[in-house]
Amino acid sequence: MKRLFILFAILLLIPSLALAGSYLSDLQSDARKPRVDAAKRIYRSSTPQDAATYAYISSRLQKEYNKLPDNRYHADEMSWWVKALATSGKEKYRPLLKEIASNAKNRNLKRHAQDSLSKLSVYAKRYEIKKSKGDGKLASLDPKAREYVLMIQSGEPKLQREAAKRIMRAGYSNEVIYDVVSETLLAEYPTAGNDRHKLDALAWMCKCLGASGNTKYRKPLETVAENAHRKIAGHAKKSLKQLY
């Protein structure tokens, strides 16, 4: 029985190991297209990759980010590698990203490195959230819904915006989810200031409440429509129309 259990555990691990191996193999390809495609898949994945993959990306970037600054294909590849490295969420890669953001001779690569610097800590927080089981009412939610709710509660605008979009598109009906969105919206709109990322996140929370179809959320939306920054207020007013 014990041997069967071990065999079953190994079989479960094989797909994830093969996936990580395929990324590294493609990144080491002599052809550009497999390398770029692998970096794109890493960037678009919602889970961190193995340490060897990130170590290879880092090493290759250090050697090559300024190798062909006037070659747009090379600059595009390096940009995708920079974005892929940011998904590690590891602070040890911040110095390299800073170096590229400061010293890259290609303007687009420099811009992507600067953007990736701000995303490094966002990815780290995202992975912490994925590990969390939540507590109280959140513990009863399915893993994806719980992850989205914790992202709303994170205080990180980029995570909040993504979560609000995903909740809205999933069409959940559970009030526990929308209660958190409502509570967070009411708590954070007064201090949003002119932070465009925060304003955007709060605007999506308004849309999320409107899409719920639940008249319970009229009052919080009315409060925001009457008192918030004009950008949020405008979305709150549009969302209110969905609840009448």
Give percent of the chain with pLDDT exceeding 90: 80
Average pLDDT estimate for 216-239: 96
Q: How many CB atoms within 10 Å of residue 214?
A: 15
Question: Tens digit of pLDDT for each residue in 68-77?
Answer: 999 999 999 9
Local confidence band at 6 (pLDDT 50, 70, 90 cut-offs): very low
Specify the residue for token string 């605008």: 157
Helix intervals (H) in the chain? 2-27, 32-44, 51-64, 72-86, 94-103, 107-131, 143-153, 157-170, 175-188, 196-212, 218-227, 230-240
Q: What is the pLDDT of residue 133?
A: 76
Max Cα distance, the chain (Å): 65
Query: Nearest CA to 178 among 195, 163, 193?
Result: 163
- Is the model's pLDDT at 241 over the cut of 80? yes
Local confidence band at 19 (pLDDT 50, 70, 90 cut-offs): very low
Q: Are 172 and 213 in contact (CB under 8 A)?
A: no
Give percent of the chain with pLDDT exceeding 70: 91
Local confidence band at 3 (pLDDT 50, 70, 90 cut-offs): low
Q: What is the pLDDT of residue 69?
A: 92
Q: Are 243 and 199 in contact (CB under 8 A)?
A: no
Of residues 168 and 135, which shows the higher confidence score? 168
Q: What is the pLDDT of residue 138?
A: 86
pTM of the model: 0.76
Question: Tens digit of pLDDT for each residue in 143-183?
Answer: 899 999 999 999 999 999 999 999 999 999 999 999 999 99
Mean pLDDT of the chain: 90
- Is the model's pLDDT at 20 over the cut of 50? no
Q: What is the pLDDT of residue 21?
A: 52
Question: Tens digit of pLDDT for each residue in 72-125?
Answer: 999 999 999 999 999 999 999 999 999 999 999 999 999 999 999 999 999 999
Of residues 16 and 167, which shows the higher confidence score? 167
Average pLDDT estimate for 42-71: 94
Tokens of 221: 């939306």
Q: What is the pLDDT of residue 47?
A: 84
